Amino acid sequence: MDFGFSAADGVFRAEVRDWLGAHARSGLDRREWERALGAAGWIGLGWGEEGYGNRTVGLTRQVVWAEEYARSSAPPRSGHIGENLLAPTLIAHGSPEQKARFLPAIAAGDELWCQGYSEPGAGSDLAGVRTGAVREGDGYRITGQKIWTSLAQDADWCFVLARTEAGSRRHQGLSLILVPMDQPGRIEVRPIRQLTGTSDFNEVFFDGAHARAEHVVGGEGAGWRVAMSLLGFERGVSTLAQQIGFAEELGRVVRAAVGSGAVEDPVVRERLVRQWAELRVMRWNALRTLGRAGDAGAPSVAKLLWGGWHQRLGELAVAVRGIGGGVGPRDWAAASPYELDAFQQLFLFSRADTVYGGSDQIQRTIIAERVLGLPREPKGVA
């Protein structure tokens, strides 16, 4: 796909830069920032012509927005799960009533979402879901546990993959249900402490949580089809913004290597050049596949490329520091909780890059089975 930017696209880029320059460091908290984005019409740029309250632009300008957002050092997004995962899924599979109810609130930045997919014991095997949803009156009673749930502590809603057919196995009998999170005594969120000392992920326990019957996306039993469609949306325009962030991280590592003298080591130089070259390959691959439908292997290839790349960058970030890479910014014996510098954070957090979002092993299995047509891997009984 050719992303030659026109003069009009340049005007749009200038508009984006001006707005982000004026607002990105406004000091708003994360929820207020989402509402500021929504009020200015910057949420839902790729949703199409249905008209849910915000501007509509083509794919090229979505790329412009994503790149400029990353370059501006704007606050991390709290609404990206609703905007980039749930909203396209509702547009593709939701009822008119679901679209009318949920899309305007996402576009306004008023409702934040989390994703209830992964479960303990199932790992990256999404078909191993055991959370159950039993029909009860005008809705469903949901019982089970989800894990590695990003932003659950702040979310207003969760889209939950649950088993609505008792005794069903694997891909059968699953439904995607929209569940309100404000249910004290029925939903509990527990932060998970990570290697970095922070808690970006959570466990979520559903103990008879209630969801309305009309909040099943795509109909009861269509959960696997809808869930797979949603995962395809996970790796779109946002991957280009992610690569802008990667490029900035790589630049900091290069400067550290120059400052420490590590760049004089030919092995370090070779690793730095390889990181730069692989990042360029990732960008061209993302542009090549952007906007394509029906490419079963593209999301898995993208995940394999960036997960391994970012993990290797974390290793290199510590290596160029030499012995100083093992020293914290404060005395670790006295610090509570312990503090890490940016490179140590990068190194430790990136250990998970090849696991979350579908492990490397799962991605290779998808490519083998769905693209190369190799025999399917035997699966245990869920």
Catalytic amino acids? 234
Which CA distances in Å does 158 have to 33, 211, 375? 20, 10, 35
* Residue 290 CB neighbours (<10 A): 19
* Residue 83 CB neighbours (<10 A): 27
Q: What does the alpha-carbon distance between residue 382 and residue 367 come to, in Å, rounded to a whole number? A: 22
The count of C-alpha atoms lying within 13 angstroms of the C-alpha of 354, restricted to the half-sphere facing its C-beta, is 15
Is 69 exposed, middle or buried, given 0-12, 13-18 or 19+ CB atoms closer than 10 A?
buried
Three-state secondary structure call for residue 212: strand
Whether 158 and 152 have beta carbons less than 8 Å apart is answered as yes
| Angle formed by the axes of helices 266-289 and 298-319, nearest 10° | 160
What DSSP designation does 82 have? I
**Where do the DSSP E strands lie in the chain?**
113-116, 132-136, 139-146, 157-163, 174-180, 187-192, 201-212, 216-217
Is 102 exposed, middle or buried, given 0-12, 13-18 or 19+ CB atoms closer than 10 A?
buried
